[in-house]
Structure 1
């Protein structure tokens, strides 16, 4: 048996690889990965959509020598099976090239280390004309000075500048490229703020990374909203081949306790419901989010559940990580452990959503609304005729009592159930889903007690109100009126 060396034909392969399927967000995130791996403390992204348009990513990391830069520009510069350092966010040795050339026809990488600047360029049109893997080396001062943002790199002690030019893929189908780039920048900012939120916020154990886009700071977007009353459950660990996978579940606060901005921040473009599920991080960098990996359906009662899963880079092969680092699937040993966690979480999230309903059926409290089982297995709701606010009409004339009863029945049969369901399952807050204020309770109590002339009658009413909604939540106010009633008797 004999063999021949059959290298791929460069012009065809370099064009074909462009169709791997990178989005602009995934492509730039791949470049930022390299900056973080180079221990950068600051990453600047520049969009320049007019005239000779370009996108540039600049970091102040450790930089590269000429030989290291040659290696970095080689396709398959590192085997995916090689053991990487703990802070390395790379995987296949392809990201810099495939991500960049998926968006542009000219990729220039300039790196500075020890006062020396090295520059290399992949130009697809040059490769096609040459018919081979011809990497351009920019050596003259004029060539280097023509590179966009080169002065910003020169001002650093060390770092790397990645420049995309001839943005053909981004211009396809765009009538107004400048305007479309503005929209893409907004999407990019949202994407980076989420994917790298743990680095941007400077989580303990990570080097804090400042990120800017056109000199505007990118703020971290925490998908677990830890600044609010998010329930953080206990960590669980799964060990695979001496590597540790850490699972930390969260139950988000009920939507009624969130501001509109917080709901938007949690929901993003896809909505609060669609972003429930697992959030898989590789070396603290978010890979995949808003999925249950087909282990559970997305539902309304589980939409407050988000599960942080931290995996180390040595388990990449088990998680079937793709080149774009945008998909990953858990191995069987992890799936088996996640199943029991999902069950507990679904139950806990359901209790969070049903808290108000359960409060309304608690035996020791007199509620305004009562919930009953219907004849056909469903449920129906009635206004409680024994509630003190309704009972105040008991001693009125029969005509007024009939009118009040007709009003209550009309309210019960006219509940806009369909619209309520749509509103509850939307991402917008129902603004009257709030607790009554103390001043409003005070006004109601004052008005009720004014209608009763006897001290015994006032005390009886206060005793009833003390165990009734919504007055049960204001015991100090009830006690204050009890003291006032005693003073009235003197």
Structure 2
């Protein structure tokens, strides 16, 4: 190759048509997480995510933050495709396309309102159809930007900050079935809450991020109260499943090294953190890769090991941002990483201080799973809880136990003789509780779903009685026993309280 071959240099601007492919790999959850990243990079400590509906169909998504905000020049740069500002080591942004890709993966219109200290509030809008022709962006009026600032302050309590709004959504439920629409939005909220809870669990736990979600009709959204996103720790077990773990295994190549913190979950533990997003824990074995306390990858072995049921207790933390760019390559969606050949080679020679290799760790996890499940037994199906059970209690029972859907059990109050606390009404599948003592367990009264603790205990005690075809001698004896003991117990409870 000879430099004398060059006759001129020309600039080849990107074709605007590439906009049509932006965000193609983004899920709704990963796209909104990307917007939260931008908020954090702007110094936000509070972020409100709003899923707004019309006739129970999702029509608008909004993300408000209390970050530093942007002036006119800043928002123009933010709306420019591929603009890469000066990223600090602590920033979560990386490619300069995050907001655009996240937004156009799910919406045809992106509107951004922002207010920065000492600057006039600003607003910009990009329509995907126009942007894909000539990268055009609409400049919105100062009055509209000021109104958006007032709305953001009402929602998030801050003058400064940014509001990102998606409208003309694609991919949300559009059918005529209202029940299906409700189910879709409920599932979308549940998945989003879980994804954000695990992605930002470290920041939420450290109180560095107050993150909330609102789901409401668009007309009433500004009066709605957000529900906080709870942290979901994928390493939140009470005690390790193996006495020798967690353990640091060091992988090294070319003079660079990365520390892998290897964990083994306890067997037969099925709590949130082990299972996530309604999926069983065996789907979350593998690597958990963090960058600035933001979780970039939730499990998966990335072809350096094979997933298996026996390895479901094995999870590995990689918390070294210098590994990204050398051992690992991050994709624009920040939803998983590519493991470079250098990392795979380094794993072959990785070892802990005591000589434990990565392969040994995998074998230890497999052994612990097999040992822990030798005595496991399957839970038998139980009768479906119905009237009298609070929705959260019903959902908890449904998560923990398989259900018999042919019949349902009601737990309800009615007046019984003073020396009785319960009455079994087998024919009507109802366990009656003496309303004479309702004030002891539900002082507020009036709610069909009150006293969830008492009802949960009664359900666990008596559900088997209602699952048979008839009451046998053993059932009748148990009922007599329960009535005698619980009748005496509730009287003692009343006396102890001085009633």
Question: Could you tell me the TM-score, scaled by structure 1's length?
Answer: 0.63
| In 1, Cα distance between equivalents of 2:105 and 2:183 | 21
Question: Paired residue for 2:229, among 199, 206, 218?
Answer: 218
Question: Do the aligned residues in 1 keep the contact of 2:265 with 2:313 (CA within 8 Å)?
Answer: yes
Question: Paired residue for 1:13, among 8, 18, 22?
Answer: 18
> How many residues are matched?
354
| In 1, Cα distance between equivalents of 2:155 and 2:115 | 7
| In 2, Cα distance between equivalents of 1:336 and 1:121 | 47
- Provide, for residues 316-373 of structure 1, a one-character-per-residue CA deviation record: whole Å limited to 9, x for no partner: 3652211111121223333234344431212322342354699x9xxxxxxxxxxxxx
Q: CA deviation at 1:4?
A: 4.8
Change (3 A) 1:196 1:241: farther
Are residues 1:124 and 2:128 paired? yes
Unaligned regions of 5+ residues in structure 1, if any?
361-416, 431-490
Are residues 1:345 and 2:361 paired? yes
- Equivalent position SS for 1:122: strand
- Provide, for residues 7-55 of structure 1, a one-character-per-residue CA deviation record: whole Å limited to 9, x for no partner: 3443x3323335x221101100111111122221111111111169311
Question: Paired residue for 2:171, among 157, 169, 172?
Answer: 169
- Equivalent position SS for 1:344: helix
Question: Do the aligned residues in 2 keep the contact of 1:86 with 1:313 (CA within 8 Å)?
Answer: no
Question: Do the aligned residues in 1 keep the contact of 2:233 with 2:273 (CA within 8 Å)?
Answer: no
The residue aligned with 1:284 is: 293
Change (3 A) 1:246 1:112: farther
Unaligned regions of 5+ residues in structure 2, if any?
1-6, 215-225, 351-356, 382-398, 403-499
Change (3 A) 1:53 1:146: farther
Question: Do the aligned residues in 2 keep the contact of 1:244 with 1:311 (CA within 8 Å)?
Answer: no
Are residues 1:58 and 2:64 paired? yes
| In 2, Cα distance between equivalents of 1:148 and 1:105 | 25
| In 2, Cα distance between equivalents of 1:314 and 1:88 | 16
The residue aligned with 2:189 is: 185
Matches within 5 A, 1:13-162: 13-18=18-23, 20-50=24-54, 53-78=59-84, 84-116=87-119, 117-127=121-131, 131-142=133-144, 144-145=146-147, 149-152=151-154, 155-162=157-164
- Equivalent position SS for 1:213: strand
| In 2, Cα distance between equivalents of 1:144 and 1:61 | 17
Change (3 A) 1:54 1:157: same
The residue aligned with 1:251 is: 264
Larger Rg: 1
| In 2, Cα distance between equivalents of 1:240 and 1:39 | 36
**Structure 1 or 2: larger strand share?**
2
The residue aligned with 1:388 is: none
- Provide, for residues 154-174 of structure 1, a one-character-per-residue CA deviation record: whole Å limited to 9, x for no partner: 841422111111113335668
Question: Could you tell me the TM-score, scaled by structure 2's length?
Answer: 0.62
Q: CA deviation at 1:265?
A: 4.7
